[in-house]
Every structure is written in structure tokens, then in C-alpha cells.
Structure 1
Amino acid sequence: MAFTPMIQQYLSIKKNYEDAFLFFRLGDFYEMFFEDAKLAVKELEITLTSRDGGDKERIPMCGVPYHSADHYIQRLIEKGYKVAICEQVEDPKEAKGVVKREVIQVITPGTVMNESSLQPKQNNFIAAISMQSNRTFSLAVVDMTTGEAKATANLNERQVIQEILAFECREIVMSTTMDEPFVQTLKQQAFFALSYEDQEEVPASLGNLLAHSTEPAIQRTFGKLLNYLNRTQKRSLDHLQPLEVYAVHETMRLNEQSRRNLELVATIRGNHKKGSLLWLLDHTMTAMGGRRLKTWIEKPLINEAAILERSSVVETFITHFFERETLREKLKEIYDLERLVGRISFGNVNARELIQLKQSLAQIPEVKEILRSMNQQTLKDLVKDIDPCEDIHTLVNQAIIEDPPISITEGGMIKDGYNQTLDDYRYVSRNGKTWLAELEKSERVATGIKSLKIGYNKVFGYYIEVTKANLKFLPEGRYERKQTLTNAERYVTPELKEKEKMILEAEEKTVDLEYELFQEVRKKIKAHGERLQKLARIISNIDVLQSLATVSDENNYVKPHFSHARTIHLTNSRHPVVEKVLPSGTFVANDLSMDTSCDVLLITGPNMGGKSTAMRQVALSAIMAQMGCFVPADEAVLPIFDQIFTRIGAADDLVSGQSTFMVEMAEAKEAITEATDQSLILLDEIGRGTSTYDGIAIARAIVEYIHSQVKAKTLFSTHYHELTALEQVLERLRNVHVGAIEEEGKVVFSHKVLEGAADKSYGIHVAELAELPHEVITRANVILADLEGGVMAANGGQPVGSDPQNADPIIHETSVVPDQEKTSTEQLTFFVAPSEPSEEKQDKLTKKEKEVLKDLKAIDLLAMTPMEAMNQLYTIQTKLKSKSHQ
């Protein structure tokens, strides 16, 4: 195809950025062509046009204005796309042929720096992953907006995905040779962009970032990420902090299911912050404090000394109410230092943001004094580490005016007295304009023309304007005509030309010099980026600690104590979020105790009785305690848990094609195979997604396995009352139940956790509360009575004594298959208690059959393991088969 030179230039650049929209600068617009244009029209809802590109057919085209491009870029990034910014890199006036253009930056979901595209209290991580020959993975993550860099290694596939989810990475970088099945697994997640980079050698200019890592796998992975960032951002990465190497076992491990089920940072329904633990605990006053709090919630500590150090500061803040409130007011005046440093380094900071930096630093001396006044050792240590960065404050204060413009290219932002040359230019400019005002006044006097005026425009410069009615009063020879208007003439004089040159040169040089001076100020501050980042970390930690103290104080939380004997003892424990959203004083607190003699609590009771709430509040108390926060109880003794696993709620995983029951089994499997005796397991209604026999068998087998093999502290709620008999055979299992009272056919929930097993589940009562039709409730009660009485009729599924013509059928969960294809494994049936054979039938039984019945009656199924039950069934079957040979 014979494209025009400009389109050929576009195509040659586009081939290097096939996975991004190419924003191709043409004048005051960024233009897109071909397939980019067609897709952009759909995603941005803009108009598709076309242009002649040299070929027979016109080329699809669309564009967005240069001055409002950020808005459109943000929309594309939020949809997971990448945008390559292609600018003119030479003066069109000096260009020979097509103006030279280059991509100056690729904006991706993981590298966006525009504030409007970011959440203030949420990190924006980009990750790189590598797979080693033994199928272990290494992971490196960077937040370009704050400079944070972290890495870990020796992860299995499940762990690396869990870490990516925990960091909420928006983009994943990998090699082009990455294992394809693993890539497909990542693509199923569907909420982050995938990018590719094969260069793994750490750039020499960034080698200092690896001072704390000697692990080759981590170095290669971090190198991959740095090379990708260099290639796409095409600018300094000096603000990146030294790589922090961590191991996943150094903090409490919480998988994605546990974070979701416990609603740590977002609710299950709606994915909202409000209603989550983060929402409750977030009384931070700074954006960086908010981000740090989220990290603490998702990665609680397991080092007791570090936990106690935090909780001691929280306790100090609680006991110093007035100092804490003053501190909060000071923190409120501190802007996002972490992201300000990032923007300074990245080169997209403006003068107003430097004023924000100055205002933030102005608060630090008072913050130090407040902390010092509390006279607590940990705070004293913090005070020693706080650098107020007074020299940076002084620099900005001397250089930048208090209310500068947003633009840094139009002047008006540098203070008088900061630079002598700038002051000289300004003197000329200001006094030149004064001279022009005096010239206008003297010319009016000299000519007698009162309407004479001196003006300026960009095309003709300065001029003297005289209406045509007054032209006769002008003296000959001194006025040179410059422009003719309808009703006036414009002139210049030699004096005006001279002043014009002087003023315009001064104004132009003033703007250029101000920009240069601003860049110098920015460069000087950038050199102190590490100091500012350290200060930001300390302030964010202080902000989180005062937030935890504020919440603990307001809600009467108690300081937890930690048990080395794995004891759980909670007095008047509450669910912190549920308590907050309910009317004051209506939440029912509960006691819960699990000493060395109890590893498993089997919880029975009705739906809506509070089983799940009681389970969750134990886990949330543990997480809060290991963050360093106080907990919602009157007294709290807890172990330090290494992991928390939860299986609460039911949901299909449609993406991977897993049913609710399959998801339940997968999550249960992860819990019982990954947990240790230092873990906490919450399992809610295991086995309910299959037939009653299967469900009871699986639930019992899991309880037994946890009790005998895992030995983790476990809260197991169930509606299978048959499991309550396990208390007699499993020495470290105890029954508890949530209370309910039946009054006049209605159920009243007490929401109290009580000793012992529940006598019934009240399922039909709950259905009635949900206002199912009266006919359904009535019929359910009839069916329940029949099932509990074990008198299911054989005539088409009708209850004994009912009229087959009038009664509704009882529907059996039975596979419908041809008789010759039916097998016992294809049928799912209700759990129906076996009825005694009639005397007539018993007379017809053989001696062997009567013995078998006697054996069956003597069996205590609930005291047997699944394998023992299978062996007993085999024995009985063998006896029955043997009669034909007698």
C-alpha cells in the first residue's frame, strides 16, 4: 500500500506498541488510526472519522484534544488498556519533511501516575513473576507512585497467585516464555493487564536497590520489572526505594477466601469499603496512613515483640486523649508525602504541590513535640528518627510563592528576591509598563487627543491607537502607520519600538528563567528523596497507631494478652463491624473459651442464630490483636496464629467451572492440608452441597482429621446434629450452640453461644420469617413430621394415610435414568430414618436376616469413622450374600 509519509511514520512506530493505543500527536490533538481508532470509538464513545492516507480507501481515524487527553487516558487505563504517548520531538519550523515523533511514555494500569486515576488510600502495584525449573515462583512488586519495592521467592503456584491478589496488582510482567497453562490461570483472574519483558539484568544505574538481596531468582525477577519500567516510562526511577525482601511466613497468612469471607477490606456484597474491617478501623488522617493501615490488616504480625511494641503505643495514645487529638489535627495538615516524592522524581510535580510539601513539613516539629510529651519509650525512639527536613522547607519557602498557578510553563511562581537575574527582568517588565502608561498620558497632552491609547496584541505588538476623527491632530513625521481599522488607525513611534523590544524580551526571558529555576528547585528536592520517604514511613506508622487508638477508645476495646499455651479466652466478645452498624447497645456479646483441652468447637443452632457472626468475630479479634490493635471484648487472651482459613458462605466459581460444592471442598482441602497446630480454622456448614449421607460423612471425616492430624484451633458450625455425638469420642472437641426459644410457634433468637448441642435447627421457622407462602410452610411441616417419623409411604412417595389424589407429592432427589442404567452411586436420596419391619414381615425373614437386623440396631454409626462404617457395611453385605450358599 502506498501510504503517505506521515502514515508510514505512524505505522513504523505502532509496530513496536501493538498492545497499546498509540496517541499520535498532530497539532492540538492526539490522533488514532486503523484498528486503534475503531476500538477507541467504542471505548471512549467518540466520533469515528477518516482521512486520506495515500491508499485508495480512506483510513479510519479518531482523536482527542491534547489539553483534555488525561481524561480519556484515565478511562482507557481503568478498562485495563495501555496508552503509548507519541509526541513531536523537533520544531515543525525546522523539520525537513515529516516532523520527527517518538513515544515518550507508555501509561499502563500498573504505572499510572495521574492523581485522578488513583485512589488516595490504596497502593497501585505492578508485579513481575518468574518461574524456576522446579516450578517455584519469585515475585517482585513496585508501586510507582510511592516508590515501594518488595520481593519474595520460593512460592508455589497457589502462593504466588495469593500474593498477587493480596497486593491487588493491576499489571503483571512476565517473560514471553512463561509456562502457558500458568498464563491461562492468570488470565482467568481477568482484572489485571499482562505484559512481557525478557531482559532480566538489573540496570547498572539501579543496582543500589538490590543491596538487601543476594537471591538470584529475586534479582532476575526484580531486574525484569525494572527493565520493563525503564522501557515504558523512559525517565528517571530514582524515587524507587531499596528492595524489601520478605517471606510469606513472616506475617499471618490470609488467603483470598479468608480476606473475602472476613470482609477485611471490602464487603462480600457490593465490594464496598463501608461495612468492612478497614472501614471500621480507618480513622487515619493522611492518605499514606490509610494505605499503611490496609497493609497491616492484610498482613498481621506474628512476631510477639513487634506486636507488643505496637500495642504499647496504641495504649499510650489511648491514655493521652488530648495529645492524641492535637496530633490528629497536625496529621490532618500533612499531604501525601510518599506520592509527592514520586511525582517530584518522575518530573510531573507542579508548584502548588511543592507548597503542599512545604505545608506538610511545617507540621513535623510540632508532631515531634507532641510525641515527646507523652514520654513513652517507643515514641521516644520514633522521635529520634524523625527528620523535619527543615532545609527542604526553607528552600521551597524561599523559592515558591504561596499561591502559584497550576502551570509551570507560564511563569508567576518564583518569589521576588530568590534570583537576581529574574528580579532584573521583572523590574524591566514592570517599569516598562509604567513607562508606557506615562507615554500614553504625555501623548494625549501633546496631541490634545483624549481618546488616544496605547495597547498590545500578539500579532502587532505595542501600538498607539487614534480614532479616524482625530487623525488631523497628529503631528507630521513622528507617527508610523502600523494597522488600519474600521474606525481607527494604529501607529508606532521610535520610542515605543525601543520600549517594546525591552519589555517583550524581559517577559519572555522571565517565563523561561522561572521554568529553569523551578526545575532546579525540583532537582534539589529530588536529591533528598530518601529522607522524605523515610519521614513518610514514620508519619504513616504514627497515623495508623493513632487511628487504632482512636477506634479502640471510642468502642471500649480491650488490650489483648497472648497465650503460649494456645488458649482462647474471650469475655463479652463482639463482632466489631456488626456491633458498629447495629443500633447502639443491641449487639449480643458472647463468651468463648478454648483451653489446652479443646481444639474444636462444634457449633449447632438455627440459621440466623448467630453462628457465623460468632465465628467471624474470633478471627477478627485475632487479626486486630496481631495488628497491634485492641479488640472488641471485656477480656481477651489469644494465641498468635500463623494462618487463618475460612470456609463461610456458598458461591459457584463460574469462571473455572466449579460448583458451590466443589469450591467448598477445594477451600476445605486447602485449610486442612495447609494449616498447622498454630492456625485458626473456621468452617461453616461443610457438606451441605451434596446428599445428607455424603454431607455427614465428609463433615465428620474433616472434623476427625483436624482433631487428630492438624490440631488447629477450629470453629466448626453445622446443621448435622448427628455430629454432636463426636463429643463422646473426640477428647478435644466440645459442643456449643446458639440459643433460640420457640414461643407459640414462633422462634426467637437469643444470639447467645451456650454450652452443649442444639436440639433442632428451626429451618422452617426461618423460612416463615422470610415470608414464604403459608401453603409452603404448612406443607414443609407435614413433610418434616413424616421424615422425622420415618414413615415414608412406598406408593409414589405419598405419606402414610394421605390421599394420593389430593396430597402433594414428596419429591425425591433421585437421578432419572433407565432401569438398566441405575446404580447406587447415581442416586441422591433424603436421609430417612429406617422403620421397623412389621411382625408379618419379620416372620418371613430368615434367621440370617434377623441376625443382620440385630447387628444393624446395635451399630452406633456416629461413634464410627467413615472407614469403620464401610468395613461394617462390607461385613453385613457378606453375611447376607452367604445365605444362598448355606
Structure 2
Amino acid sequence: MAKKTTPMMEQYQKVKDQYPDAFLFYRLGDFYELFNDDAIKGAQLLELTLTTRNHSAKNPIPMCGVPHRAVNSYIDVLIDKGYKVAICEQMEDPKKAKGMVKRAVTRLITPGTQMDLNGDQAKNNNYLAGIIRQNGHYYLAYTDLSTGELKTTDFASEDEVINELINLQSREVVLDDSVEDDFKQQLTKRNILQSHQPEIVNEAEVSYLTQDLTDEGQQAVVSLLVSYLLTTQKRSLAHLQKAISYRPSSFMKIDHYSKTNLELMTNMRSGKRQGTLAWLLDETKTAMGSRLLKRWLDRPLIDPKQISARQDKVQGLLEHYFERNNIQQELIKVYDLERLAGRVAYGSVNGRDLIQLKTSLLQVPKIKYTLETLDAPAFADLEKQLDPLSDVASLIENSIVEDPPISVTDGGVIKDGYDQQLDEYRDAMNNGKQWIVDLQKHEREVTGINNLKIGYNHVFGYYIEVTKVNLNKIPRDRYERKQTLVNAERFSTPELKEKEALILGAQEKSTALEYDVFVKIREKVKKQIKRLQSLAQALSELDVLQSFAVVSEDYHFVRPQMNTGHVLKIKDGRHPVVEKFMGHQEYVPNDVMMDESTDILLITGPNMSGKSTYMRQLALTAVMAKMGCFVPAERAELPIFDQ
């Protein structure tokens, strides 16, 4: 770097010093610029052209940049590669600024705090974890910032907490000084990004989110995690749900090695989803339903009452084909309510998001009515949770146009008739533009120039354009010359300048007011986030249950009977995934019989005879049964496996 730096580079360096481990995207006009080492590394990772600032200096500054409208795609590339990105925005209008434009980091984006997930990513949770060590125990908390889920637990050993992190597929872990270097090395080996939060933020949000926790260690780790989010995100976290404490022993224990070998979510050969149990079971219609199915698959139940309650719902949907089909058709029109709620709280929601929210809410009364027609006690709890939020749907219906633009700052989002002042500005704009049309017609008649036109651009404003071959037709002193082009001249008049000021003034005020109106609508929706999250939870559960009903019908699964003893009887059992590939007629079913007197079955046979398939078949059947799904067999009775 040159010895003498400009004020702008001094400002840049002060901000960069606060975020040494992140790429700093520094806003300059319509671009985000990267400088020095960030530019050198960023140009390579993002395939950008590396240039320099201060070309004439002895040591010119490396730089590269990306357009602000396309910045998200570049950020996604860096996040996917495991890097952090700090967004430094202009905090005032450059036209009104005195001296250097004030800038500040408005958000730190990291692998664990990525909000905008699309495509297949939308069907997966993105968990950020926090870990501390107290009194020989590891305390863990995790959250999905995009959905608001927040949970915590503790473990006695390092292996257990590592196993949980792998199961959660956490890409980033927040630590404090209590965690030893050996543990950090374990995280490094697994390519898990480590972030440090030096202190707890003393804010009401931390107290609110930890109020239901009784364990001090769990309170501490949740406080650490939330403090990191408040520090890095610098905005409301109103969508975060109160932390829930859970015990891993409340679910069927499956270590990550077993999950890998059973191919519950990832195919060992291809690394993809096809050929896994999740692939077989996932007939969900929504992204949030798909995420919940994976959570159920990750944590099968061991409580007989909970298992039976899910089975009752699957049975009810299985026995009512037409009602189930109606529910499916409505769920297809439901968008990702969990992440829409997150964007509302975050302040990143746009008009199209609100239309998606309205469309989703309009399906709820239909789904609720269909469940009522089932007249099944098993669905009573879900019916109560299906709040259609008609007040929110009406608010959006009355205020937001049906096909709004992506940007919320350029106008065109709010309906006519919603805000009186906005309507007055729009009327002034429309009348002014009609005046322009009338003026063009009048000037053509007066001058006899049929191709005379009145146009507009951001530099010169409104102008009268006449081609050079028609210049001699203009009456003397009628126009004031404004600009000369190759084939035409542009002119103005005092009346046109006056009307231009009125039109542009109304347009500027209209755009500013419309954004203010949109923000107020967003804040009204934000107050209903808890209701929205409760609805999302109910719809997700219903989506997974109908998915179980679909696969149970398609593949002839049966409802397993659960017992609290050691009796295991499976008649004509099948491996569900292998059967899907081979077809129902080709797979040869088999039995598994074990009771109090049989602890072990010794399976013998030559290579490739199906020994491992037989064992995996039983394991998958047990997992499916504990999820509340029906199982591939003619009859099945299973004990409650704890692991």
C-alpha cells in the first residue's frame, strides 16, 4: 500500500481492521469494491478482473468490484466456500454528504447465518451452533436463522458433541474461551468454520429467548449464540423462537456412522439424495415439510404415545384418499412460511414475498375445512393450530399489487386507493405526463413537424427533439437549445421546465412515501410472526404426515404394532429403498423373528447373498416405525428401540 493514503482508503482500512477474517464488500456508488488482499483472493475465487487503484503510485492498491444488483450471487459463492462476507454500505446520500460519505458494516454474512437459500438448499436447514464448556460438560445450542428454530442441550463427552454437530451438518460453530484447542482441532478436521464471541450482549432479546431454560450452562450457551447473531446481523431477531431444551436420550440414538451406513439422507456412493430413505419417504409438497421430515428422520421417537399419535394421523389420511388429495393440492400453493417470517423480521421481505404469504394464507381455510370433514379426533390439535391469519391476508390484499417489482424502493408496490397522500402524488404525476402528451401533439400541429417528440433522460430531463432536416420549420425564438446530437437537436421551453419540476417532484415524493407505507405494512405483519410460525409448524407436520400416507399406500406399507418388551416379529419384510429400485414383484420378502429368548441372529451365506441388506432392512424398518410411518411388511410388531 502507498505510504500516503486517501481519506477514502483510511476509512476503508478502519472498517477492515474490525473484520480481519471476512471479505469486506465496500460500497462505492453502484458497485461493491474489494481492496488489497481481499481483492487478490476475491478476484481468483469469483473470477473477476483484478485492477489497481492509484495507478501512478509507487505501490498501487489491488482492487476488484461487483455490481450492487448482482452482489448476492457473488456472496453465495464465497459463503459456499466457507468464507465470511462483511457488507459495508453508504449510510447517507452522497449528493447531500459533506466530505467523506459515512459508511458502516450493516451485516456480516457467514456460512451459519446465510438467509436466502434457494432450490434444493431451501429443503435443508442451515444450522449455526454455539458451544461452551463448563464443569466438564459441553453445552450446545443451535439455530436456523432463516426459520427461527433455537434449541439447546448438553453432553458429557467430546465425541457426543462432535456427533451431534455432524448430525446437524453445522457449517459454523461459535465458541468462547472455555473450549480447548484439542476440540477446535477436531472442528478444523471436519471443515467446520469457527467463530469467536468474546462477550455476552446485555439486551432484552437474550433474556427473552433464554427465559424458559432452567440449566445455567444451557442459558449461557444460548446467550453466547444469540449475542453472536446480534453482533453480526445488526438487526431485529424477532422471529427467533424461545430456546427449547432437549435431551438426546428422548430420541432413538443413531450415531453419524450408522446414519451414513444406513444411507438415511446421503447415498454413500454418489453423495446425493437419490437412493436414500429420505428420498423414498419425501412426498412433501412444501420446503418446510421436507425440512421437518429430515428432522424426524434424524430423531426418531421412543415414546409409544407420540409414535401412536403420528400413526393415527397417517391412518386417517390413508383411509381418506379424496380428502388427502385435496390437502395436497392446497399445500402445493403454500410457500415457505418459516423463511418468509424470517425475512419479515429481518426487514429483507419484498412485495413478492408478501404476495406469496397472502397466497399461502388463503389456502389455510380450505385445508382446515378438509381436516374437519375427516371428523377424526387425531387431528384436533392440528386443526386448532391452523390459524388462517385472515387479518394479515386482508392487509396484504388491500395494500400490495398482485405483481409487484422485486425492489421496494423504486415504487409500483402499493395499490391505488390504499393511501390518500400517495394517490395525490400519483395523480399529479399522471396529469403531468398527460400534459406532456398534449404538448407534443400541440407542437406538432404548430410547427408542422410530424416526427417531433418529447422525451426524457436522467441527465437533461424533459426535452423537445427535432431532426436536423426539420430545423428550418421551427418558428424563430420558439425554443431554447438544450443539446446537439448527430442527427437531431434537443430544445426546451420555460413551461416545459416548470412542468418537469412538478412531475419529478411528485415522482420523488411518491417513491419516498410508497417505501414508508411499505415499511409500515411490513411492521404490521412482523407483529404476527409468532402466529405465523405456529401455523407454519402445523402445516409442516400435516405435509409430512400426508407424505407418509402417500408412500404407505404406494408401496403397500402396514401399520406396525409397538410393544414395550423384547418381541420383534416381521412377516414378509422388505428393504424399502432396494424394493423401489427393483419393483415390488421382484423383491423377495423375508421374515425376522426375535423374542425374549433370542438376543442374536447369526446370518451366514456367501458374498453378495444379501446379508447386509437383510440387516439394513430391519434397521430401516425400525427407524420408519419410530418416525410414525408405516413399514414395508405384511405384518410387523416391534419393541421400542432406544438405539
TM-score by length of 1: 0.70
**Aligned counterparts of 1:186 and 1:123: Cα–Cα separation in 2:** 20
Residue in structure 1 matched with residue 216 of structure 2 by the alignment? 216
Which residue identity is paired with 1:266?
T
> Quick one: structure 1 residues 201 and 3, their matched pair in 2 at CA, closer, same or farther if it must change by over 3 Å?
closer
1:203, 1:226 within 8 Å by CA — same for their partners in 2?
A: no
- Which residue among 23, 26, 41 is the counterpart of 1:24? 26
> Quick one: structure 1 residues 108 and 422, their matched pair in 2 at CA, closer, same or farther if it must change by over 3 Å?
same
**Aligned counterparts of 2:92 and 2:84: Cα–Cα separation in 1:** 25
1:164-313 aligned at under 5 Å gives the runs 164-190=165-191, 192-200=192-200, 203-313=203-313
Residue in structure 2 matched with residue 5 of structure 1 by the alignment? 7
Moved more, 427-436 or 396-405: 427-436
The answer to whether structure 1 residue 127 and structure 2 residue 113 are counterparts is: no
Percent of residue pairs bearing the same amino acid type: 50
**Aligned counterparts of 1:62 and 1:492: Cα–Cα separation in 2:** 41
Secondary structure at the aligned position of 1:416 is classed as coil
Shift of 1:179: 0.8
Residue in structure 1 matched with residue 551 of structure 2 by the alignment? 551
1:345-494 aligned at under 5 Å gives the runs 345-468=345-468, 470-471=470-471, 473-475=473-475, 479-494=479-494
1:569, 1:594 within 8 Å by CA — same for their partners in 2?
A: yes
TM-score by length of 2: 0.96
Secondary structure at the aligned position of 2:275 is classed as coil
2:133, 2:178 within 8 Å by CA — same for their partners in 1?
A: no
Secondary structure at the aligned position of 2:164 is classed as helix
- Which residue among 98, 104, 107 is the counterpart of 1:105? 107
Which residue identity is paired with 2:193?
A
**Aligned counterparts of 1:122 and 1:159: Cα–Cα separation in 2:** 23
**Aligned counterparts of 2:184 and 2:411: Cα–Cα separation in 1:** 50
> Quick one: structure 1 residues 31 and 217, their matched pair in 2 at CA, closer, same or farther if it must change by over 3 Å?
same
The answer to whether structure 1 residue 77 and structure 2 residue 76 are counterparts is: no
2:440, 2:454 within 8 Å by CA — same for their partners in 1?
A: yes
Secondary structure at the aligned position of 2:619 is classed as helix
1:74, 1:117 within 8 Å by CA — same for their partners in 2?
A: no
The answer to whether structure 1 residue 35 and structure 2 residue 8 are counterparts is: no
Shift of 1:443: 2.8
Shift of 1:418: 0.8
Residue in structure 2 matched with residue 730 of structure 1 by the alignment? none
**Aligned counterparts of 1:552 and 1:592: Cα–Cα separation in 2:** 20
- Which residue among 30, 51, 54 is the counterpart of 1:52? 54
Residue in structure 1 matched with residue 138 of structure 2 by the alignment? 137
Which residue identity is paired with 1:50?
T
2:206, 2:223 within 8 Å by CA — same for their partners in 1?
A: no
1:557, 1:634 within 8 Å by CA — same for their partners in 2?
A: yes
> Quick one: structure 1 residues 186 and 455, their matched pair in 2 at CA, closer, same or farther if it must change by over 3 Å?
closer
Shift of 1:177: 4.5
Aligned residues: 641
**Aligned counterparts of 2:559 and 2:371: Cα–Cα separation in 1:** 21
2:32, 2:66 within 8 Å by CA — same for their partners in 1?
A: yes
Shift of 1:202: 5.5
Post-superposition CA distance 1:2-50 (Å, at most 9, x none)? 3333322222221211111111223333222222222223322323333
**Aligned counterparts of 1:112 and 1:572: Cα–Cα separation in 2:** 46
Post-superposition CA distance 1:685-721 (Å, at most 9, x none)? xxxxxxxxxxxxxxxxxxxxxxxxxxxxxxxxxxxxx
Secondary structure at the aligned position of 1:459 is classed as coil
Residue in structure 2 matched with residue 66 of structure 1 by the alignment? 68
**Aligned counterparts of 1:559 and 1:225: Cα–Cα separation in 2:** 41
> Quick one: structure 1 residues 636 and 83, their matched pair in 2 at CA, closer, same or farther if it must change by over 3 Å?
same
1:461, 1:500 within 8 Å by CA — same for their partners in 2?
A: yes
2:167, 2:256 within 8 Å by CA — same for their partners in 1?
A: yes
Which residue identity is paired with 2:233?
Q
- Give structure 2 stretches of 5+ with no counterpart: none
Shift of 1:339: 0.5
1:587-598 aligned at under 5 Å gives the runs 587-598=587-598
Shift of 1:60: 2.6
**Aligned counterparts of 1:129 and 1:53: Cα–Cα separation in 2:** 47
Shift of 1:382: 1.6
Shift of 1:384: 2.0
Moved more, 452-461 or 392-401: 452-461
**Aligned counterparts of 1:96 and 1:491: Cα–Cα separation in 2:** 34
2:206, 2:227 within 8 Å by CA — same for their partners in 1?
A: no
Residue in structure 1 matched with residue 154 of structure 2 by the alignment? 153
1:202, 1:219 within 8 Å by CA — same for their partners in 2?
A: no
1:463, 1:492 within 8 Å by CA — same for their partners in 2?
A: yes
Larger Rg: 1
2:350, 2:408 within 8 Å by CA — same for their partners in 1?
A: yes
Secondary structure at the aligned position of 2:122 is classed as coil
2:568, 2:638 within 8 Å by CA — same for their partners in 1?
A: yes
Which residue identity is paired with 1:601?
L
Residue in structure 2 matched with residue 563 of structure 1 by the alignment? 563
Post-superposition CA distance 1:761-782 (Å, at most 9, x none)? xxxxxxxxxxxxxxxxxxxxxx
**Aligned counterparts of 2:322 and 2:430: Cα–Cα separation in 1:** 51
**Aligned counterparts of 1:419 and 1:212: Cα–Cα separation in 2:** 42
Secondary structure at the aligned position of 1:362 is classed as helix
Secondary structure at the aligned position of 1:76 is classed as helix
Secondary structure at the aligned position of 1:604 is classed as coil
Shift of 1:55: 6.7
**Aligned counterparts of 1:447 and 1:39: Cα–Cα separation in 2:** 62
**Aligned counterparts of 1:634 and 1:413: Cα–Cα separation in 2:** 57
> Quick one: structure 1 residues 201 and 472, their matched pair in 2 at CA, closer, same or farther if it must change by over 3 Å?
closer
Residue in structure 2 matched with residue 828 of structure 1 by the alignment? none
Which residue identity is paired with 1:10?
Y
> Quick one: structure 1 residues 397 and 219, their matched pair in 2 at CA, closer, same or farther if it must change by over 3 Å?
same
Post-superposition CA distance 1:135-184 (Å, at most 9, x none)? 21110001011011011124421111111111111110001452111111
Secondary structure at the aligned position of 2:82 is classed as coil
> Quick one: structure 1 residues 366 and 513, their matched pair in 2 at CA, closer, same or farther if it must change by over 3 Å?
same
> Quick one: structure 1 residues 613 and 486, their matched pair in 2 at CA, closer, same or farther if it must change by over 3 Å?
closer
> Quick one: structure 1 residues 40 and 494, their matched pair in 2 at CA, closer, same or farther if it must change by over 3 Å?
closer
1:265, 1:277 within 8 Å by CA — same for their partners in 2?
A: yes
> Quick one: structure 1 residues 54 and 159, their matched pair in 2 at CA, closer, same or farther if it must change by over 3 Å?
farther
2:149, 2:241 within 8 Å by CA — same for their partners in 1?
A: yes
Post-superposition CA distance 1:40-82 (Å, at most 9, x none)? 2332232333333997322333322322221111111111111
Secondary structure at the aligned position of 2:334 is classed as coil
> Quick one: structure 1 residues 557 and 118, their matched pair in 2 at CA, closer, same or farther if it must change by over 3 Å?
closer
1:452, 1:466 within 8 Å by CA — same for their partners in 2?
A: yes
Shift of 1:546: 0.4
1:753-772 aligned at under 5 Å gives the runs none
**Aligned counterparts of 1:536 and 1:436: Cα–Cα separation in 2:** 50
2:210, 2:223 within 8 Å by CA — same for their partners in 1?
A: no
Moved more, 170-179 or 234-243: 170-179
> Quick one: structure 1 residues 207 and 55, their matched pair in 2 at CA, closer, same or farther if it must change by over 3 Å?
farther
1:202, 1:223 within 8 Å by CA — same for their partners in 2?
A: no
Shift of 1:464: 2.8
**Aligned counterparts of 1:441 and 1:53: Cα–Cα separation in 2:** 53
2:307, 2:626 within 8 Å by CA — same for their partners in 1?
A: yes
**Aligned counterparts of 2:598 and 2:149: Cα–Cα separation in 1:** 43
The answer to whether structure 1 residue 323 and structure 2 residue 299 are counterparts is: no
Which residue identity is paired with 1:221?
V
Which residue identity is paired with 1:69?
V
Shift of 1:238: 0.8
**Aligned counterparts of 1:447 and 1:37: Cα–Cα separation in 2:** 58
> Quick one: structure 1 residues 584 and 303, their matched pair in 2 at CA, closer, same or farther if it must change by over 3 Å?
closer
> Quick one: structure 1 residues 588 and 500, their matched pair in 2 at CA, closer, same or farther if it must change by over 3 Å?
same
1:425, 1:509 within 8 Å by CA — same for their partners in 2?
A: yes
Structure showing greater relative contact order (alpha-carbon pairs closer than 8 Å, 6 or more residues apart): 2
